[in-house]
Structure 1
């Protein structure tokens, strides 16, 4: 057995344990009865500890050293070793006890969040969220950082990211976005989207959204779609990718939620099958991952050509939908309005929602903001950024699942994804200038193939910055995003 094969066998063992935890987590968010939470937390904790101990063992390190020495420069083998080394360096800093404790607590925190959100009762969630923030600080201390506690946490989600880099990113888009929102608010003619609200059959929504994501390229032979309180995408292998969505009185919630998660799913399905169960399979980072969900949801899914093709089908499934002309529908699904719910926010205001969460989690991590005071701080931020005050905590600080999972440091990757989505789309349009015509005719294969060839098939072979530079010709550049949404929404609002 070669050095690479020996390393792969060890990585397959670790992957099997981690995938088992992922299956348990998916089930918890979709089908598990509430009474299973305590045992589920114990199962996940033990499996996570076993995977961690196997990964950080001396034997794994020896296997990695031998494989690294044998790998040809710039080869797939070298990429496997590089990613494994980065993951191992991080894992080695975390005690097995901390990893197991964090896993067990996050399982219970998710259940507490679901109950608190349903009951609109932040006080019942506050104690365990306080523990999750404490564990995040403990994790950051173990990893180590120079400038800010946030740096240690956010680097786990986006390689090389720091609080300073996120601050610079937000500074580059904040003023133009605020200015555009004000410009749109003063427009005399706003779209009417009231026809999108009603009592829509969940069964018909399921049927239509599955038809939609299959049409753009999600492979249901290697995936499925279910429902969850908070939509997400996960995978157990390249051949088993799970989407979730949710059904509400706003018809767009399921449509755009499904398109969003399908963007994640197609990225996961796009790695070479021979990479399955290796750490280079799947998305290279959460920011790049989010660029694909936002590209398919917003740039493709909220485009006029897309609905020139799909609106007749939507009206056939929901004959009670009175959308009017396709231009009216297009304007309605792109209506810009200050709102409370992040996942339902329009493209223009969405990043303001992210900035709020980013500022609040930074404050919680430094201790500047006590967790018990989060609702008041949340409401104050929403009033300052969007001129709105949530009437309930369920529509406020309890709306997102992330902090119950311990995912502090995650939120800025959403804004990075928004920015990258337009940069990637501009590069795609340069190579496929008739992309709009293809969409209007229901043809998405060429678009998907471009994304596969430029992004999906490379997995984590390259770093995020290297991948984006190769795909678009330069590192992340917010001008594509700002120019794109400014042109789009000035046209929609006749500005």
Structure 2
């Protein structure tokens, strides 16, 4: 058994290394690649995906797995977890034709550039044919993976193994009415002040890098760059993040950075022994999002930490339009109308996600076609937020996800918020003195607890089990809604 396991893991480590190189191509495309290289990059990505798909579906993996699964000797927990991930990946890979895997990589790489240009021109019609092509390929992939089952559930497994649309819809169905009811309460109360002034964008980036280090991001194994859409890329000892700046809105830069640091810190904290193995990265996108959201919101937007941030902001930028730390806390958490998910306040964020989740399920199920997507988006947005979308870049064109084929990804954002609510409740029980440290600009009691209880394990446990082990309870939406209702009713004196 040992020989088969060693051979399998050597093969997996090589595959993992190649996958890291492919990921670096995607990072480069978002940050540094010249625009004219898009078609060439599409061919490069298709070639890389061809190599990866061939390795992930290699018949030797099936033979090694069969040998190990039939062996009488018991497996240790790390071995068993590795085999669980490899079996899942192999079973999925052999269902997808190599032609389809390569075509998806090529089309989605090119589609990303088409989306970016259409977004800049506010022209959904220019993007629609490409999106239709991506959707057709994803439906084909989902059908191959589902093998007669639910196509959307099959796609969802790439991002949240073990989850089903039925489970998520029940959870989100409980969230949505409480979110809308709380939003209606808040909208009836006076709003906190906004920041005022112009904030030098280079100074924003300097502060963002300093805050990234404050939250534990190791810049000897990472870097911070600018991109249109902030993201985190990589794992192990090369984990990179991006952010963005706007001269009139420093919170966009600072909280995008903290959010991505949550993702990156998770990857940097995974046990080094797991590098290049299936355990060497975050276990799911829902658990990943729990780290970014708890860093950004429950820690970064807390009254204690914002009192520290107020001092840093006034020291670096001078007068910012709010008089004291109390007012600054309210400004940071101000509920405001807006179109953009990534710029949304904490209360309304999940409504943005649930809109996308329902639309993409309908697209995959052929209940909605791309030709009708913009109208469907605008109607749902008006129903949930109470005002109309003004242009496509603020509506159906704002997210990159569908252009790169990430159908099944969006629900993990709200699932991550649910997980973050559970983790925050457990964190507060474990660290009763946390606010004193946060007020001094020291999030390490929180980030250390998360590193120990969630991050270091990587893919060792299944997603829901990862959260249950950390919190002592099965995940539910209750802690998140209790946190939001308590916080915003206090903020708005409701």
TM range (shorter): over 0.9
Q: How is 1:126-137 mapped onto 2 (pairs within 5 angstroms)? A: 126-137=128-139
Q: Could you list the per-position Cα deviations for residues 26-50 of structure 1 after superposition, in whole angstroms to 9, with x for gaps in the alignment?
A: 0000000011111111111011111
Shift of 1:149: 2.4
Shift of 1:382: 0.8
Q: Could you list the per-position Cα deviations for residues 448-491 of structure 1 after superposition, in whole angstroms to 9, with x for gaps in the alignment?
A: 22111110111111101211111111111111001101000010
Q: 2:167 aligns to what?
A: 165
> What is the alpha-carbon distance in structure 1 between the residues aligned to residue 91 and residue 484 of structure 2?
40
> What is the alpha-carbon distance in structure 2 between the residues aligned to residue 328 and residue 90 of structure 1?
52
Shift of 1:222: 0.9
Note if contact 1:339-1:388 (Cα within 8 Å) is conserved in structure 2.
no
Q: How is 1:385-400 mapped onto 2 (pairs within 5 angstroms)? A: 385-400=384-399
- SS of equivalent residue, structure 1 residue 224: strand
Note if contact 1:282-1:460 (Cα within 8 Å) is conserved in structure 2.
yes
Note if contact 1:145-1:151 (Cα within 8 Å) is conserved in structure 2.
no
- SS of equivalent residue, structure 1 residue 377: helix
Shift of 1:73: 3.2
Q: 2:429 aligns to what?
A: 430
Q: 1:244 aligns to what?
A: 242
Q: 1:153 aligns to what?
A: 155
> What is the alpha-carbon distance in structure 2 between the residues aligned to residue 469 and residue 290 of structure 1?
16
Q: For residues 29 and 55 of structure 1, do their structure 2 counterparts lie closer, same or farther at Cα, with a shift above 3 Å needed?
A: same
Identify the range of structure 1 (62-71 vs 206-215) with the bigger mean alpha-carbon deviation.
62-71
Instruction: Give 5+ residue unaligned stretches, structure 1.
Output: none
Shift of 1:16: 2.4
Identify the range of structure 1 (313-322 vs 95-104) with the bigger mean alpha-carbon deviation.
313-322
Q: How is 1:204-353 mapped onto 2 (pairs within 5 angstroms)? A: 204-235=203-234, 237-248=235-246, 249-353=248-352
> What is the alpha-carbon distance in structure 2 between the residues aligned to residue 385 and residue 149 of structure 1?
27
Q: Could you list the per-position Cα deviations for residues 398-442 of structure 1 after superposition, in whole angstroms to 9, with x for gaps in the alignment?
A: 100100110011111111111111110111111111111111122
The normalised TM-score by structure 1 is: 0.96
Structure 1 position 174 matched with structure 2 position 176: yes
> What is the alpha-carbon distance in structure 1 between the residues aligned to residue 467 and residue 39 of structure 2?
42
Instruction: Give 5+ residue unaligned stretches, structure 2.
Output: none
- What is the total number of aligned residue pairs between the two structures? 491
> What is the alpha-carbon distance in structure 2 between the residues aligned to residue 36 and residue 16 of structure 1?
24
Q: 1:477 aligns to what?
A: 476
Shift of 1:146: 5.5
Note if contact 2:132-2:370 (Cα within 8 Å) is conserved in structure 1.
yes
Note if contact 1:191-1:335 (Cα within 8 Å) is conserved in structure 2.
yes
Q: Could you list the per-position Cα deviations for residues 192-239 of structure 1 after superposition, in whole angstroms to 9, with x for gaps in the alignment?
A: 1142xx54222111100010010111111111111111111010x400
> What is the alpha-carbon distance in structure 2 between the residues aligned to residue 310 and residue 72 of structure 1?
52
> What is the alpha-carbon distance in structure 1 between the residues aligned to residue 361 and residue 349 of structure 2?
19
Identify the range of structure 1 (372-381 vs 287-296) with the bigger mean alpha-carbon deviation.
372-381
